[in-house]
A and B are shown apart, each in its own frame.
Chain A
Amino acid sequence: MEKKRNYINGLLHGIGTLLTGMKVTGREFFTKKVTEQYPENRKTLVLSDRFRGMLTMPVDKEGRNKCIACGLCQMACPNDTIHIESETITDETSGKKKKVLVKYQYDLGSCMFCQLCVNACPHDAIRFSTEFENAVFDRNTLVKILNKTQSNH
């Protein structure tokens, strides 16, 4: 008797689980498809904000960046991707000495997008943009100068 009940219960349970699976895939059949048809949908392509495409240095309205040339990003980088050139200037009014950024050189070709530089930056001066079409014919064009103007901090 016990065995018979197991047989029928097992059968019904099996059918139930199969129907559960079919419900899931049946719903999936009618949902919107996730495929991105990339080159065609270039204009409407939306990437996640957290996508790391290329290191950028955002500027405010006056075109000033927040970099203080502290070099923490350069030290954090495991690949020596970032090179910072700075100079020390004396503020004319207060007479204090101050370090300013001259050149922020970033080599996209050796970057591994680990985001350690962005995490190390104390002033949120750099961040990753979602731009990802980085293919070029010459490796040297991958070396980029991120600061457009000299830092005015």
Chain B
Amino acid sequence: MFDFSIITNWIHEQLISFMPTGLAVFVECVAIGICIMLMYAVLAIIMIFMERKVCAAFQCRLGPMRVGPYGTIQVFADVFKMLIKEIITINHADKFLYNLAPYIVILASIMSFSCLPINKGLEVLDFNVGIFFMLAASSIGIVGILLAGWSSNNKYSLIGAMRSGAQMISYELSIGLSILTIVVLTDTLQLSEIVERQADGWFLFKGHIPAFIAFVIYLIAGNAEVNRGPFDLPEAESELTAGYHTEYSGMHFGLFYVAEFVNLFIIAGIAATIFLGGWMPLHIPGLDGFNQAMDYIPGFVWFFAKAFFIVWLLMWFKWTFPRLRIDQILTLEWKYLVPIGLVNLLLMVIIVVFKLHF
């Protein structure tokens, strides 16, 4: 498996050879920040294109086909359109909070995005409570959404934001429980370590029944966490025009839109990391030739393939199931997912204590 820390260490040594260490670290931080932003934007564009194509395929259509080959330039055109649109500020809106809200959303999204281990030695934020930090960072986004709804001086926005807040805070619990199930199995919170432990089999297979239940709960709760269908009632367009981002235009709306799609990717990326082994290739114990062949595929390809597979799964959910009512959403969470998650956690503890896992 190729280790990217060779390259990063080399760059670091080159930099400190002609400048002080503090400056070198600063330059590296700026460079990494730019790289993350770039990747964020590129991923958002890929995700929007994928959403359109996958949605079309599920509805027996072709999707965008006119702009560029197979409609590939369409998203770039849309991004350009979004960039040149006017940002309107509304009368009687709380100007400061109104302008702050999209940046809080995007900040939370980028912070949790930089936790994802993409390849061996290619983790930006990686420390001993990594997954805990990621959960904490991703929940900051709720503040941005509540601010957006509150400050736009619009009752639909407010209702959308309140729904979103209730929903996201509830489903945070299920996400936490399902991740905790895997943490019990790994006894580590560090994301790179979690990936390393899956070298001889992904946790979905190693933890068998409870891991699978946790995976399903994670997918459902994760889908709710990013406010996507069938849990998209914070922006239920038939009732609330567009929910919390009704009053936003131009790039401020664009930031919400981009954050929604990249959050979906982050949810899928975490699922790929903790359940499907992140950048770890598919290893079957005993088949050495097969394992070696799998090792030739670079880690980031594995990571993105797994993440996009889960994105596809989530899109499948979105374009299949009808939207839930707010009471149904809360019933699903508090009466089904949380109890099942707790029992599942207990089951995992029993399995780990008696060493029934692989």
A interface list, Cβ under 8 A from B: 11, 18, 21-22, 24-26, 28-29, 31, 33-35, 37
Contact = CB atoms under 8 A, between A and B. Distances in A.
Contacts of A18: 320-321
B61 A33 contact: yes
Contacts of A22: 316-317, 320
A74 B316 CA distance: 55
B336 interface: yes
Contacts of B319: 25
A33 B57 contact: yes
A37 B321 CA distance: 29
B336 A11 contact: yes
Nearest to B332: A14
Nearest to A25: B320
Contacts of A21: 320-321
Contacts of A34: 60-61
A37 B57 contact: no
A26 B316 contact: yes
B62 interface: yes
A29 B58 contact: yes
A74 B61 CA distance: 42
B60 A37 contact: no
B65 interface: yes
9 contacts: A25-B319, A26-B316, A28-B57, A28-B59, A28-B60, A29-B316, A33-B56, A35-B61, A37-B62
A1 to B, nearest CB: 18
Contacts of A26: 316
A124 to B, nearest CB: 37
Contact of B57 (A11, A24, A29): A29
Interface residues of B, number: 15
Q: Is the interface of A mostly helix, strand, loop or mixed?
A: helix
A72 to B, nearest CB: 43
The 3 closest A-B pairs by CB, nearest first: A35-B62, A25-B320, A21-B320
Nearest to B65: A37
A25 B58 contact: yes
Contacts of B65: 35, 37
Interface string B59-77: 1111001000000000000
A6 B60 CA distance: 37
Contacts of A28: 57-60
A30 to B, nearest CB: 8
Nearest to A18: B321
Given A22-B316, A25-B316, A26-B316, A31 B60 contact: yes
Contacts of B321: 18, 21
A21 B320 CA distance: 6
A74 to B, nearest CB: 43
Nearest to B340: A11
A45 to B, nearest CB: 15
A47 to B, nearest CB: 19
A33 B316 CA distance: 17
A35 B59 CA distance: 10
A34 B61 CA distance: 6
A123 B54 CA distance: 51
B253 to A, nearest CB: 29
A11 B265 CA distance: 28
